[in-house]
Chain A
Amino acid sequence: MGERTLTRMDLSEAVFREVGLSRNESAQLVESVLGHVSDALVAGETVKISSFGTFSVRAKGQRVGRNPKTGEEVPISPRRVLSFRPSHLMKDRVAAGNKG
């Protein structure tokens, strides 16, 4: 497990193989896909990709945290966090592929 780390390059290589555009265009399209997902999330939308998963934005209220080194209490400001919920298909394929 943890054999390899894929990057944007690997995704654009896959688009290049699959669609037959230039490497440059493929890289730009991968960027556009990630850009549109990011923009929708920043706008507060939920992004639901069927058979992949759902990205949603949750608002968290202010809370009191602690500096683990000094034990000092510090306020943590309210913030928006992203959560990803994998689809059943993704969970099943990841579980099946990494068995044993």
Chain B
Amino acid sequence: MIRSELIQKIADENPNLSHRDAERIVNTVFEEIIDAMSRGDRVELRGFGAFSVKKRDARTGRNPRTGDSVPVESKHVPFFKTGKLLRDRLNGKE
């Protein structure tokens, strides 16, 4: 499923909404999650999962072509942990 299909599903089951509204709803949900994580916040959606930010320490990397060592700065990366309910549903436990 891709973003446009998700928007279509929301539009189909809510005939009172315009397609544009369905689009704004879906986009807002994902946009808010990215916004929260870029502030360093965590987003916990019980049953679905939690989005958080993890710090990766600085390390010495290597250029795979030349083998030269290059310093890699520390950085923050997005992380998702699947919620218990969804994990159970994936394994047939409703």
Given contacts A18-B28, A19-B21, whether A81 and B82 have CB atoms under 8 Å apart is: yes
Q: Which residues of A contact B32 (CB under 8 A)?
A: 6, 10-11, 14
B39 is an interface residue with CB less than 8 A from chain A: yes
CB pair A97–B37 under 8 Å, yes or no, is yes
Interface residues in B39-69 by Cβ distance below 8 A to A read: 39-49, 52-53, 55
Interface residues in A1-21 by Cβ distance below 8 A to B read: 1-8, 10-11, 14-15, 18-19, 21
Question: What class of interface size applies to chain A in its complex with B?
Answer: 35 or more
CB pair A90–B25 under 8 Å, yes or no, is no
Given contacts A90-B78, A94-B37, A97-B38, whether A33 and B1 have CB atoms under 8 Å apart is: no
CB pair A6–B86 under 8 Å, yes or no, is no
CB pair A95–B77 under 8 Å, yes or no, is yes
CB pair A98–B40 under 8 Å, yes or no, is yes
Cβ contact of B86, chosen from A7, A19, A41, cutoff 8 A: A41
**B76 CB → nearest A CB, Å:** 4
CB pair B45–A82 under 8 Å, yes or no, is no
CB pair B48–A36 under 8 Å, yes or no, is no
Given contacts A15-B29, A94-B76, A95-B76, whether A79 and B3 have CB atoms under 8 Å apart is: no
CB pair B38–A96 under 8 Å, yes or no, is yes
CB pair A32–B10 under 8 Å, yes or no, is yes
CB pair B41–A3 under 8 Å, yes or no, is yes
Complex Cα–Cα for A82 and B91 (A): 11
**B79 CB → nearest A CB, Å:** 8
The digit string for A68-100, where 1 denotes a CB below 8 A from any CB of B, is: 000000000001111010100111011111110
Q: Which residues of B contact A (CB under 8 A)?
A: 1-3, 6, 9-10, 13-14, 17, 21, 24-26, 28-34, 36-49, 52-53, 55, 75-78, 80, 82, 86-87, 89-91
